[in-house]
Chain A
Amino acid sequence: MTHAPVLKVENLQTRFKSVQRGKYVHAVDDVSIELYPGEIVGLVGESGCGKSTLGRTIVGLEKASSGRVLLDGVDLSALSGAALRDSRRALQYVFQDPYSCLNDRQTVGEAIDEALIIDGTKSPDERNRRTRELLDQVGLAYAVKDRHTRELSGGQRQRVAIARSLAVNPRVLICDEPVSALDLSIRAQVMNLFLRLQKDLSVACLFIAHDLALVRQAASRVYVMYLGRIVEQGPSQELYDHPSHPYSQMLLASVPEVDPRVEKLRSGPLLMGEVPSPTNPPSGCRFRTRCPLAVDDCARRTPPSHGLAPDHNAACVFAPDLHGGKRSALVHQPA
């Protein structure tokens, strides 16, 4: 990666006021990520680990309590009002639920038109031309523009939502599980659409998902998130082949196998129990309460990030051993 990142997130922290007085839910804690132009990056983790909150904070739907979001080197936290809205427009978000992210009262044409107006396209002819182009890009016929969004199927709605995001010429697309609400046959189509658009328009894409197979297929790099922190990151091939954080290992091992004979052979402790409360996160390493390898030291300090291979880091004291295969979270060994 020689060129500059298009999106740089530095030590981002998002806290919500807890129902318990004076306490906070640490949804995103000290997260730094980078996106380079035109790449697809996966963000995986269990439900409730803060991956959606991270995405929402980046686009400004949640307020960051500290940290910076830099888009093309411009610090968005330093901007406000119309200047912020104009700059942040290059950062778009694709929602998980294609049913509620469009206004039922609008037709497809109106929804896309509105995005174009917001983006400052004044001439109606130009907007019509762009609408036609965008619908074509997402594989919908131009005639759809006169239909109300409520008349469309989930897959069609998601295409419209994608077309609307693309209307403002984004540099970065944050996709929050964009296909998990769609059924399997449509999922593949929309996924292919994503890959094609990303290639054609070279938009950088942060792909938030819990479907590990999907991320492996689509993403060039992967971040693994646990309880508000990034625990491991790396190129997807490398990370899927040599997961070096106990959590990543267990997460990957918990993917069911299609073949029942292979499934039977799957061994080792799979992820048990639930993610601890982000209101009172465990001290030191946050995964230690569920980690089969945890030692006393894990509770005392946050494990440093170990560089294992080019661009591959894991935040675990045993990361080098895990990476080299000398140790595994899947076969329980008393430390």
Chain B
Amino acid sequence: MKKLNPILARMSKMPKAALITIGLFVALGTFAPWLAPQDPSTQNLLEAGLGPNAAHWLGTDHLGRDTFSRLIIAANTSLVSVGSVLGIAMTIGIAMGTIAGYHRGWVDDLLMRVVDVGLSIPSLIIALAVIGIVGPGYWTMVLALALAWWPMSGRISRAVAVSIMSKPHIEALRVLGASPWRIYFNHLLPGTIGAVMVYATADAGVAALAVATLSFLGLGIQPPTPEWGQMLVDALPYLESDPRQVLLPGLALTAAVIGFNTLGESIALNRIPKPLTRRMLAARRIEVAGWAKEGIDAQ
């Protein structure tokens, strides 16, 4: 924690809050099975609809399942599905985008028209269509959302790839006689991935919302796997008698979405300091001064 302090100290409130929220979300999601105090699926109808108490910190739902545990396990579900959606979508998008950006010409035109078509259809509608054809299910949802998502990352990667390809350092490699293979894998791809990852952070919130939406509609993650959207729909009948059951998953989802959006924006605007940059630069600047052996040229 001490090492984090100098980084946190230099950030303003919003990015800091977002970083902490997302950090918490990722940590909870990753270690959910070990963190959840109780089995999220164990039903106990005798304890159904209880408010917060010593045994159940955030109460229980209408089937007597521990809400706190379900919220934590849902973070894991959400993290895995959002991660897979973005992972698949970005792999396709980056591949398409970099190929288009590398080749330009008709390859570029063809791939980007495909992307245009993909972008012109709202992503949720594509996902609904795919699920409608294949039938609801966890992996169907992930694939459907990935299919809906890749055009955006394709468009962004293409823009990034075009800008990298037009940089003189790529031209310098061409002049050196580097093979297309080397230019693509050693220079274009790493550069594009780095830049596109930034956009992915901002996109993660929207993807989390989409996963929750589909699950809310019963088209995504199926019971009994806990998921925020699905917890919402389960609690809907008790909205008036026990709003806690709706509010808790709602708040968790809202925090994750806003957290991702704010974090993405902060990274894009360079508000997250890169660790150690300043100290390293200061230490090196002194050394840099001694590098050039200017005397040689003063012949």
Contacts and interface: CB of A to CB of B under 8 A. Distances in A.
Q: Are A and B physically bound partners?
A: yes
Interface of A: 59-61, 82, 85-86, 88-89, 91-93, 95, 97, 100-103, 105, 114-115, 118-119, 139-141, 143-144, 147, 151-153, 155-156, 159, 161, 164-165, 168, 189, 192-193, 196
A155 B289 CA distance: 12
B196 to A, nearest CB: 15
B190 interface: yes
Contact of A92 (B175, B182, B290): B175
Contacts of B190: 105
Contacts of B287: 143
A102 B169 contact: yes
Contacts of B171: 61, 93, 95, 101
12 contacts: A60-B174, A82-B179, A92-B175, A93-B172, A93-B175, A101-B171, A114-B178, A118-B173, A118-B178, A161-B172, A168-B177, A189-B294
Contacts of A92: 175-176
A97 B297 CA distance: 21
A143 B171 CA distance: 27
A165 B174 CA distance: 12
B169 A100 contact: yes
B296 interface: yes
Contact of B281 (A100, A139, A151, A189): A151
Given A118-B173, A143-B291, 10 more contacts: A92-B176, A101-B172, A102-B169, A114-B186, A119-B177, A147-B284, A147-B291, A151-B281, A153-B288, A156-B292
Nearest first, the 8 A-B pairs at minimum CB distance are A85-B177, A89-B177, A101-B168, A192-B297, A139-B296, A93-B175, A100-B168, A103-B169
A101 B297 contact: no
Considering residues B177, B178, B290, which has the most beta carbons from chain A within 10 angstroms of its beta carbon? B177
Given A97-B168, A100-B167, A144-B291, A139 B175 contact: no
Contact of B187 (A60, A103, A192): A103
A143 B291 CA distance: 8
A97 B171 CA distance: 12
Interface in B132-180: 167-169, 171-179
A86 B176 CA distance: 9
Considering residues A93, A103, A105, A139, which has the most beta carbons from chain B within 10 angstroms of its beta carbon? A103
Nearest to B166: A100
Contacts of B186: 114
Contacts of A192: 297-299
A193 B297 contact: yes
Contacts of A152: 288, 291
B284 A61 contact: no
A198 to B, nearest CB: 13
